[in-house]
Structure 1
Amino acid sequence: ARIVSTWGDRELGDAAKAVLAKLRAVLPRNLKAQFDALGVMAPPAHYQATVVIDLARVRRAVRAKKKIRFSYADANGTTSKRTIWPLTLSFYGAVWTVPGWCELRQDFRAFRADRMQDLEVLEERIPPDADKTLAAYLKREGVKDLNELT
């Protein structure tokens, strides 16, 4: 929960804390001291790239299977407007990314959240398409076992 609270958004951090509280509540008394002394440290996210979009809105769009639109700046600062079918949120090092199917490029792309602005969650739902799923994206990225990611 400390890591999620430090590196995630408030909604995700609150959910992680609630899960830990529920776990602690059902533990036998003799295990609570061990649980409380896990010794996990989450340093402040002072070197994390600044994200101006609301990651909770992206998560809700993923769950609701709704398209999102945003302005995106590439590594050179060139901006473009993108509409994607968001598949998930992922976190690598100090960077959140939003992998999805990009309508402009007609291909999977992973967009850095710190380069996204003006996020809109569209009412348009993602069409059911077996070729544009999270599993298809991960397979293309070389992930053979989804359990590697959790």
Structure 2
Amino acid sequence: MSRAARLLQLMQNLRRRRFPVSGQELAAELGVSLRTLYRDIAALQAQGADIEGEAGLGYSLKPGFTLPPMMLSAQEIEALVLGARWVSQRADPELAGAARDMLAKVSAVLPQRLRQELAATNLLIGPGPALPATQTDLGLLRQTIRRQHKLLIDYLDKDGAPSQRVVWPFAMGFFDHCRMLLAWCEARGAHRHFRVDRIQQLTALDERYPVSRQRLLRQWQQSEGIDPTGGC
């Protein structure tokens, strides 16, 4: 691997981490010595990458430093297109449109060779099962999660029993068979999963909930035994 390619890979390895990672682990991933890893870190910092940490403590990349899109590999382009195609077919119209717009923006700034790779990717999304009908506005759900506001929902459980809940929405799960809202339920005092197709009515409240959605997500991951470094 050339030094330029190694620096790009080091950036990617740092970017996908949510928590500091040791120099030993980074060096092992790149197949280099610790001494070389420290020189690479210093080189990236000199180029403007906001990498925090030092030898023995671990390193993390602060948001804001981006790689030029022309450095995308063929595999990264395939992953991008495959993910966008899944969203364009399986998500609500608003999110599907955003996926298509994102691909168009990426294509516009790629050099000609990579633009051809983007257009020629032959990874397709097969048809999935029909989702249960729902009147729930998924765009409003996503907006409420971003704003970290409380949500009032009228809900039917699996037996059809109705209830009204005030919840703190912090994530959504997109599955082939349904959509799930992950939230802290004030009535139960615990994390709960709500099938979106069983939400009869929802009202976004003006009140923000008192903790961050990232903290709620971490707490849920811990309760489910999910490694937070692997994402959700």
TM-score, normalising length from structure 2?
0.59
Contact residue 148 and residue 212 of structure 2 kept, 8 A: no
Which sections of structure 1, spanning at least 5 residues, go unmatched? none
Cα drift, residue 28 of structure 1: 1.6
In structure 2, the gaps of 5 or more residues are 1-83
Indicate the residue corresponding to 1:35 in structure 2: 118
CA deviation vs aligned residue, 1:2-47 (integer Å, no higher than 9, x gap): 2212211122112111211111112221122221122233345551
- Report SS of the residue matched to 1:3: helix
CA distance in 1, matches of 2:176, 2:129: 13
Residue 129 of structure 1 deviates from its aligned partner by 6.8
Q: CA offsets, 1:72-104, max 9 Å, x none?
A: 111111111111000111112321101010011
The answer (yes or no) to whether the contact 2:128–2:176 under 8 Å persists in 1 is no
Alignment match, 2:147: 64
> RMSD of the alignment, in Å?
2.1
Given candidates 98, 112, 116, the residue that maps to 1:15 is 98
1:125 alignment partner in structure 2: 208
Runs of at least 4 residues off by over 6 Å: none
- Within 1, Cα distance between the matches of 2:136 and 2:199? 7
Which residue in 2 is equivalent to 1:103?
A: 186
Stretch of structure 1 that moved more, 30-39 or 60-69 = 30-39
2:225 to 127, 142, 148: 142
* TM-score w.r.t. length of structure 1: 0.89
Identity %: 34
Indicate if the aligned counterparts of 1:86 and 1:101 stay in contact, CA closer than 8 A: yes
The answer to whether the 8 A contact 1:82-1:102 is kept is yes
Report the more deviating stretch, 52-61 or 91-100.
91-100
Whole-angstrom distance in 1 between the partners of 2:209 and 2:195: 21
Partner residue of 2:162? 79
Bigger relative contact order (CA 8 A; separation at least 6): 1
Q: Which has the higher helix share?
A: 2
Q: 1:116 aligns with which of 199, 204, 207?
A: 199
| SS of alignment partner, residue 128 of structure 1 | coil
Aligned to 2:132: 49
Residues 148/89 of structure 1: CA separation in 2 closer, same or farther (3 Å cut): same
